[in-house]
């Protein structure tokens, strides 16, 4: 069984992100990406709707397009920063019409980050992580369910349940010692991957992702072709497929 994105959110309360964008296709793409990252998302088309929603919902983050009908993203940012109830909410501005002067105005007005559309999934992930997560992660992580063999012991009860470009979480009743190196084999989309990995941390029952025992491992050596295959798999898992035409 191949995966849903961001296994890290399994045991935590989902944070709310408000997306403000009048372009239907862009709003849908951003929303699906954020949902794949494990966040709860509410989408509105105008700054006025956003202000009303923000005052009620108290989101962890607002992501707004710069160009909006009537009140623009910069004006929305100013209203948020001027309101004592809202002023601490991070605001990320993204736009398909980048302009250096506008970027400078946004930053001087207190925007948290300024992103240029189209925003790659990895960049959006890192932006959101760095903005609202207490322990930000740089690499996309996806949930998987892959039978694994550790040190050639044969495929048994060990499973790879989280994958990133740099490592994995192996669910196992026999976690190895922290700092030790091991060979792990698993099948991903009919391709057998064999990696060398080092144990970074160990979880007992009710501690790991999904409250499962096991070990977090960082890749120490992986074939370049396997690395590219893994990266493409992760991108496909988190990147939404939006085929509808752009509309405003």
What does the block give as tokens for 211?
Answer: 């409250």
* Per-residue model confidence as pLDDT tens digits over 157-177: 899 999 999 999 999 999 999
Q: Kindly state whether residues 157 and 120 are assigned to the same domain.
A: no
Asked whether the predicted pLDDT for residue 244 surpasses 50, the reply is no
Q: Kindly state whether residues 175 and 118 are assigned to the same domain.
A: no
Chosen domain end from 81, 103, 132: 132
Domain count along the chain: 2
Residue 245 lies in a domain: no
**What is the residue whose two structure tokens read 């509105």?**
44
For the chain, give the percent of residues with pLDDT over 90: 65
**What is the residue whose two structure tokens read 């709003």?**
27
Residue 238, pLDDT score: 79
Tally of residues, the chain? 248
Q: What is the CATH number of the domain that holds 160?
A: 2.40.10.220
* Per-residue model confidence as pLDDT tens digits over 189-229: 999 999 999 999 999 887 767 678 999 999 999 999 999 99
CB 152 within 8 A of CB 183: yes
* Closest among 59, 64, 32 to 45, alpha carbons compared: 64
Residue 24 lies in a domain: yes
Residue 36, pLDDT score: 83
Q: Kindly state whether residues 176 and 126 are assigned to the same domain.
A: no
For 135-152, what is the mean pLDDT?
88
* Per-residue model confidence as pLDDT tens digits over 16-37: 999 999 999 999 999 988 988 8
The structure's pTM equals 0.73
Domain that holds residue 176: 141-237
What does the block give as tokens for 231?
Answer: 């990266």
pLDDT band at 120 (very low <50, low <70, confident <90, very high): confident
Q: How far is it, in rounded angstroms, from Cα 78 to Cα 59?
A: 17
Is residue 82 exposed (0-12), middle (13-18) or buried (19+ Cβ within 10 Å)?
A: exposed
Mean pLDDT computed over every residue of the chain: 87
Q: Kindly state whether residues 124 and 32 are assigned to the same domain.
A: yes
Sheet hosting strand 91-95, strand order edge to edge: 40-44, 16-20, 61-65, 91-95, 113-116
Q: What is the CATH number of the domain that holds 90?
A: 3.40.50.2300
- CB half-sphere exposure, 185, CA atoms < 13 A: 10
Q: Kindly state whether residues 56 and 86 are assigned to the same domain.
A: yes
Q: Kindly state whether residues 88 and 120 are assigned to the same domain.
A: yes
């Amino acid at each position: 069984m191949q995966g849903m994105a961001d296994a890290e959110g399994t045991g935590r309360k989902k944070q709310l992100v408000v997306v403000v964008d009048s372009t239907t296709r862009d709003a849908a793409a951003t929303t699906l990406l954020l949902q794949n990252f494990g966040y709860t998302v509410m989408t509105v088309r105008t700054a006025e709707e956003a202000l009303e929603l923000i005052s009620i919902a108290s989101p962890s983050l607002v992501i707004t397009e710069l160009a909006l009908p009537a009140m623009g993203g910069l004006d929305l940012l100013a209203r948020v920063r001027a309101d004592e109830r809202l002023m601490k909410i991070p605001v990320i501005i993204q736009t398909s019409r980048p302009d250096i002067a506008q970027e400078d105005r946004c930053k001087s007005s207190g925007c948290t980050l300024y992103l240029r559309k189209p925003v790659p999934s990895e960049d959006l992930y890192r932006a959101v992580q760095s903005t609202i997560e207490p322990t930000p992660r740089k690499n996309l992580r996806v949930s998987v369910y892959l039978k694994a063999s550790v040190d050639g012991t044969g495929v048994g009860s060990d499973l790879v349940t989280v994958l990133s470009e740099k490592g994995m979480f192996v669910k196992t009743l026999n976690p190895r010692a922290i700092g030790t190196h091991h060979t792990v084999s698993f099948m991903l989309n009919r391709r057998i991957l064999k990696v060398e990995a080092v144990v970074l941390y160990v979880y007992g029952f009710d501690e790991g992702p999904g409250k499962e025992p096991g070990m977090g491992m960082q890749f120490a050596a992986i074939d370049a072709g396997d690395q590219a295959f893994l990266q493409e798999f992760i991108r496909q898992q988190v990147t939404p497929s939006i085929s509808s035409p752009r509309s405003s």
